[in-house]
Amino acid sequence: MSSEKNNNSEERNWLAQHLAGDKQAFAQLMQAYRKPVYSYLVRSGFDKNTRDDLFQDVFFKIHKAAKSYNKSNRLSPWIFTIAVNTVRNHIRDQKPINNHLSLCTEEKPDLQLVDQTASPEKITQSKHMMQWLQQAMQDLPPAQSEALNLNIIQGLKLSEVAEILKLPLSTIKTQIRRARQSLIQSYKSNDEVKSKGSIS
State the pTM of this model.
0.73
Q: Residue 108: pLDDT band by 50, 70, 90 thresholds? A: very low
Q: Which of 92, 83, 103 is nearest to 42 (CA)?
A: 103
Q: Is residue 147 a contact partner of residue 179, using CB atoms and an 8 Å limit?
A: yes
**Mean pLDDT across the stretch 68-80?**
94
What are the distances in angstroms from CA 62 to CA 48, 86, 113? Answer: 21, 11, 22
The sign one gets for the Cα dihedral 10, 81, 105, 141 is positive
Q: Is residue 79 a contact partner of residue 62, using CB atoms and an 8 Å limit?
A: yes
**Mean pLDDT across the stretch 107-126?**
56
Tally Cβ neighbours within 10 Å of residue 6: 10
Q: Who's near 161: CB < 8 A, 6+ residues apart?
A: 147, 150, 151, 172
What are the distances in angstroms from CA 120 to CA 27, 83, 108, 127, 145? Answer: 32, 33, 16, 11, 30
pLDDT at 105 over 80: no
Q: Which of 79, 53, 98 is nearest to 164 (CA)?
A: 79
Q: pLDDT tens digits for 23-66?
A: 899 999 999 999 999 999 988 888 889 999 999 999 999 999 99
| 69 vs 90: CA distance, rounded Å | 23
- What's 118's DSSP letter? S
At what angle are helices 75-94 and 48-64 packed, to 10 degrees? 130
pLDDT at 123 over 70: no
Spacing of C-alpha 102 from chain mean position: 17
2 or 56, higher pLDDT: 56
Instruction: Look at residue 6 in the predicted model and tell me its pLDDT.
Output: 52
Going along the chain from its start, the domains and CATH numbers come out as 1-105 (1.10.1740.10), 108-200 (1.10.10.10)
Please state which of the ranges 54-58, 152-156, 175-179 shows the lowest mean pLDDT. Answer: 152-156
The sign one gets for the Cα dihedral 30, 36, 37, 41 is positive
